[in-house]
Amino acid sequence: MFANSEILANKVILQEINDTNKNEYELSFKLDKVALIKSESFDDEPKIILKIESVKEFKQIAQNQSKLIKSFSSSVEDDGISIIIELDQFVKWTKPAQEKMTDHVKMSMNLIPDKKLDKNIRDIVIVIDAGHGGKDPGAVGKNILEKDITLMIAKELARTLQNTEGFSPKLIRSKDEFIELDERYMRARRMGADIFVSIHADGFTLSRVKGASVYIWSKTSSSMTADNLSDQKLLNVKNTNFDKLDFNEDLNRPYFLEEYDLTNKKSLLLADKILEELKRDPYTYIHKPNVEFANFRVLKLIDVPSVLVESGFISNPDDAKRLSGKPGRRMIARGIFKGILNYLKQENPKNTIMQDKPKSLTYIIQKGDLLSEIAIRFGVTVDELISQNKINPKRIYPGQKIKINI
């Protein structure tokens, strides 16, 4: 089925089973290239399956001396290999992450056994891309740079997700550094993203143009603004240095057309949900009432729903003012967060906290948190938080878990 073995991974080797600390195991595999990996577990038996597309060969070098893992086995199908990990009990597991080494790719995942679990569960991985950075400031406004705004929104979103049980946010960049566009989505693949969100706040030649918009990928743009943004800002990149270990989304797409079609539908749903939430925010003016389509190269992932959020135009004085302040940025982060939740409520991804359509989520209070702030970030009222959790607002403490209706 895969004609071109040059561009796809061929083998996987189980190299190590590490007892990282008393109750956590790390499995390390060696791949010849970054691969498209699907992973799932079952609710009724402690078993995890890793499906590695295109790979035909599995070898186990690691000695299995752990009590937790009963066995590894594999089965080869037309389109790849399935590695079946049989466990002794239910675990919290992480999606396999891939790391490029000098001549191979290290794929690793963690297993954390927990007697209290009645099924296998994993976190939902949300990869957040703060647009631009380092030598690339993005749009330049009066006393305001796009690269700084995007990073602050990204961190605000990550902060909410980080402390909400069942979610694992990962930042493409967490400081002011330059990262190539291709490296951004490739990094998201290696991180095992369930969802990819790229955050921008661009400028336009006309200063009256303002407001937020949400984009998904398309070969043809849906408007002039989209054309302008995608062609000039995001598409026109000279460096496309793929090395032999990379998974090239463009070259691989023809082999995964069905998958890509499904991903596009999911991206549209995700974008719709985020836009819906941004529209609810009284502070955020909306630039385009519908989800926009643009050829943004950062949205290329074949199997990961991906959206690009333009939080406003910093070339517009109103938007610049809104995004310069914490409340304005927080509303963008909240819109994205709630949009993601609403998307997940509809998708109910298996093996995750959202599988059983929960009515509430658990948030772990952090040092410096205020109930009023938490309420804003989740779009609930302080009174709701107090009555639902029967807490004294003056006596909240770090590490305290509270339920928040969603």
Residues forming contacts to Zn ion in the complex (CB under 5 A) are 131, 138, 200, 202
Complex with Zn ion: residue 202 or 277, whichever CB lies closer: 202
Complex with Zn ion: residue 25 or 313, whichever CB lies closer: 313
CA gap 288, 109 in Å, rounded = 41
Complex with Zn ion: residue 138 or 328, whichever CB lies closer: 138
Complex with Zn ion: residue 111 or 307, whichever CB lies closer: 307
Provide the minimum distance between the beta carbon of 270 and Zn ion in the complex, in angstroms, as a whole number: 19
Q: Which residue has the tokens 């490029």?
A: 100
CA gap 56, 81 in Å, rounded = 6
Q: Are 306 and 237 in contact (CB under 8 A)?
A: no
Residue 391, classed as helix, strand or coil, is coil
DSSP code of residue 105? E
Provide the minimum distance between the beta carbon of 359 and Zn ion in the complex, in angstroms, as a whole number: 37
Two structure tokens written together for 247: 């998974």
Provide the minimum distance between the beta carbon of 311 and Zn ion in the complex, in angstroms, as a whole number: 10
Element (H, E) at 161: helix 146-162
Complex with Zn ion: residue 121 or 197, whichever CB lies closer: 197
Complex with Zn ion: residue 96 or 138, whichever CB lies closer: 138
Provide the minimum distance between the beta carbon of 144 and Zn ion in the complex, in angstroms, as a whole number: 13
The residue count for the chain: 406
CA gap 406, 334 in Å, rounded = 13
Provide the minimum distance between the beta carbon of 175 and Zn ion in the complex, in angstroms, as a whole number: 17
CA gap 22, 371 in Å, rounded = 35
Complex with Zn ion: residue 204 or 256, whichever CB lies closer: 204
How do 306-310 and 195-200 pair as beta strands? parallel
Q: What are phi and psi of 126, to 5 degrees?
A: -105, 115
Q: What are phi and psi of 298, to 5 degrees?
A: -75, -10
Complex with Zn ion: residue 198 or 263, whichever CB lies closer: 198
Residue 104 identity: H
Q: Are 324 and 150 in contact (CB under 8 A)?
A: no
Provide the minimum distance between the beta carbon of 331 and Zn ion in the complex, in angstroms, as a whole number: 19
CA gap 271, 269 in Å, rounded = 5
Residue 121, classed as helix, strand or coil, is strand
Provide the minimum distance between the beta carbon of 132 and Zn ion in the complex, in angstroms, as a whole number: 6
Provide the minimum distance between the beta carbon of 148 and Zn ion in the complex, in angstroms, as a whole number: 12
